[in-house]
Amino acid sequence: MQKKNKGDESSIKDEIDHQGKLIKLEEKILENLVELQKVHTNLAEKFDKLSSNISNLLALFEMAARSFAQSPGNISTEKDSEFLEKIDRLLDQNKTIAKGLTMVEERIRERMYGQRPVERTVYIEQPIQRTETQMTQKKPNDQQGQTQTVKPLPRF
């Protein structure tokens, strides 16, 4: 019978150890729950602060919108008008340079191929499309009607 007592004692010790572990586990769970509640409280406070900050920012945007509606900031200043004048002068210079380059190209063609350029109106905004017959031209010295392909210079 003593053998049974020793077995009973060891099972009682195991059960006590098991209950002790369960108690420690419950304590840890309680500690974690308390910490989690603290975190949730902190988070709720921070969300409240964030909400109030967003409300303040929205109010600031509304004030700015009202301010712009009352006095628009689209009034051109002296610097703006000077800048626009400079841009206009640059555009005029660009047109003059483009016309000059077109004239130089026509002179080069006249000297290279011995033909007078055809009078045509040049539109700055839209490039002139050349046909296939304009691209191939006969040279006076060509034998038996051979044609040479001429690559056009860019048009402005």
Q: How far apart are CA 24 and CA 22, in angstroms?
A: 5
Q: Higher confidence at residue 101 or residue 149?
A: 101
Question: Per-residue pLDDT tens for 32-68?
Answer: 999 999 999 999 999 999 999 999 999 999 999 898 8
Query: Among 17-26, 77-86, 138-147, where is mean pLDDT lowest?
Result: 138-147
Hey, how many other C-beta atoms are within 10 angstroms of the C-beta on 99? 13
Hey, how many other C-beta atoms are within 10 angstroms of the C-beta on 102? 19
Would you list the domain boundaries of the chain?
A: 1-73, 76-128
pTM assigned to the model = 0.37
Strands (E), the chain: 136-138, 147-149
